[in-house]
Amino acid sequence: MLKKTSTDLARSTTTSPRGTALLHDPLRNKGTAFTLAERAALGLEGLLPSHVQTMAEQTARVLENYRHEQTDIEKYIALVSLQDRNETLFYRVLLDNLEEMMPIIYTPTVGLACQRFGHLFRKPRGLHISYEHRGRIADVLRNWPEPNVRVIVVTDGERILGLGDQGEGGMGIPIGKLSLYTACAGIHPAQTLPVMLDVGTENEEYLQDPLYLGLRQHRVRGPAYDDFVAEFMNAVAEVMPRALVQFEDFANINAFRLLETWRERACTFNDDIQGTAAVTLAGLLSALRITKRALLDQRILFLGAGEAGIGIGELIVAAMVDAGATDAEARQKCWFVDTKGLVVKRRTDLAHHKLRFAHEHAGAPSFLAAVKALRPTAIIGVSTVAGSFDRDTIETMAEFNERPIVMALSNPTSKAECTAEQAYTWSKGRAIYASGSPFPPFTYHGKPLVPGQGNNAYIFPGVGLGVIACEARRVTSRMFAAAARALAGQVQESDLAIGRIYPSLKRIREISAQIGAAVAGVAFADGLAGVGKPDDLLAFVKSQMWEPIYEVHAR
C-alpha cells in the first residue's frame, strides 16, 4: 500500500510554515517528534524540549492523559484538543485504539458534545455558513484554505441523532463523521470539510442561552430554505467541483426532498437514509447466515417510518428484487409502524414517503399488536423511543422465531429500543441482536454473546473512499447495495459464533478498502467513473489511503 504522509496531498500547493507558525499548524505539526535537523532547518530550535520523541512515545503520553480523564465528555475534549494541535498524531492514536475511542469521538458522546457545543467551544473547525451569507456562499467557500477538498459533510442541525434540533451545535456531527472518514478509510484530513448550514433553530433553550453560537432566530422554511441549500450546492460545484457532499442529520421534512432533488445533479448522498440502509442490510444478511434462512423468507417489521426506516426498507426491497422477487412481492415483506400505528392503505394521514409501504391490512394500534398480527422474523427499531422493544415484544418474537433478529438502531445509547442484555435475557439467549450505539458483551447462562453495532462508520467511509478513488460523478443505490454485500462478506464465522453480525472494528481499514473497491466497481460498470479502470481494483483503492505517519521535513 502506498503510505501517504501527513502533508503529501497539500504541500504541492501550500507553502509550508516555519517556527511557531508550524507548531500551530495541526496538519503539519509533529510537536516533540521534530528531529534535531528539522528543528535547525525550520526555525524550531529552542521552541521545543530537548528530547526528540518517537510517535510511539507521544502516543503513550496521549493515552496516559486520556485514560486519566474521569468522564466521557472530558475524554472527548482531550481528543478534540489533540486534533487541533497535531492531526497526524490524533489519527494515529484514534486508528490504533478505535474500538475504545469510537464511542467518544462519535456516538454516543458526540451527542452530548453537540448539546454543549457553545459551552465547550475552543477553536473553530470547518465552515459555518449562515443564512445571512445567502448570495455570497461561493465567496465563503473560497475562504477555506485547503485547495483540494474531496469530501464535505453538511448538516443544518435539525435532527441530530435522536436528540432533535441542536441548531449550530449540530456542527459536532460533521466534524465527528469526517474524523471517521480519515481514521476508517484513510481520506486525507486536508481533503475533508465539515459544513454547518445555520438557518436558525426551533430549540427555545438554545435561543435563550447566552452562550449559543448560532443565529438567534427560528428556522427558515419553505422555498427560501430550498433556495439557500441550492445556492450552497451550486457553490460547491463551482468552488470545489471534485467534492462529494454527504447530507447528515437533516429532518424528515427536508431530507427526502433534498436527496431526490440533488442525487442526479450532484455527487451526493444522505447518510441517514442510504448509509443506515446499507449497514442494516449488511447486518441482516449476516444474521441470515446464523438462521440459515433466505432473504426472501423474511418478514421485517420496522418501528419508525422516517428517513432511516424508509431508506432501509427501500434497500432491502432492492436486495430482494436482486434475489428474484418482484418489487410488489418485496414490499409486501416490509412493514412499518409509526406514531399512529401500523402503516396500512386505509390510513389517510400518511406522508408521501410512507405510501410505498402501505399495505392492505387491518390496522394495529401498537407495535406489540403489529408483532402479534404479522409474526415478523426481524424487528428493526429506528424510532428514538427508548424501551419501545419491551419484554412482551421480545418474548413474543421468541415464541415464533428460533433465532429472532432484533435490531435496536436508535442513537444515542439512551434512545435504544432495548439493550443487548434485555434482548438476550428476554429471548433466553436466542436473539440475534444489533444496536446503533455500543453495548458491552453479555453472558447468558455461561454462553458469551457479543452484540453487533450497526454503526454507519462501517459504510460511509468506504463508500466515500470508493467514490473519491474512481472520481465517480454520482452516488447510486447500486453502490450502497454493493457496500452492504461487501460488509456482510467481511463477517467471519468466529464473529457469528458469538452472535456478532458485524466484523471487529479492529479490521476497519481493510473493511473500508473492500467496500471502496465494491463501490468503485459499480461506478466503472455503470459508466460513472472519471478515471480509467485499473487492473487490480482493490490495490488501486488501497493506494489512495493516507496513513498517519510523520513526513521527514529535513534531512
Catalytic residues: 106, 177
What is the CB neighbour count within 10 angstroms for residue 40?
A: 12
CA distances from 545 to 141, 177, 181, 479 (A): 25, 17, 10, 19
CA distances from 40 to 35, 47, 58, 115, 555 (A): 9, 11, 21, 45, 10
Alpha-carbon span 207 to 200, nearest angstrom: 9
Alpha-carbon span 139 to 127, nearest angstrom: 12
Largest CA distance in the chain: 79
SS (H, E, C) 138-205: HHHHHCCCCCCCCEEEEECCCCCCCCCCCHHHHHHHHHHHHHHHHHHHCCCHHHEEEEEEECCCCCHH
What crossing angle do the helices spanning 222-239 and 252-262 adopt, rounded to 10°?
40
Question: Quick check: helix, strand or coil at residue 378?
Answer: strand
Alpha-carbon span 330 to 442, nearest angstrom: 35
Residue type, 491: V
What is the CB neighbour count within 10 angstroms for residue 161?
A: 25
Question: Quick check: helix, strand or coil at residue 434?
Answer: strand
**Listing from the earlier edge strand, what are the strands of the sheet with 300-303?**
341-342, 334-338, 300-303, 378-381, 405-408, 432-435, 452-453
Going by C-alpha positions, the residue among 384, 371, 393 that lies closest to residue 416 is 384
Tell me the DSSP string of 261-301: HHTTTSSEEEIIIIIHHHHHHHHHHHHHHHHT--GGG--EE
Q: Which three cell numbers stand for residue 152?
A: 464535505
Going by C-alpha positions, the residue among 248, 53, 81, 15 that lies closest to residue 151 is 248
**Listing from the earlier edge strand, what are the strands of the sheet with 192-198?**
127-130, 192-198, 151-155, 244-247, 268-270
DSSP 128: E
Q: Which three cell numbers stand for residue 125?
A: 473547525
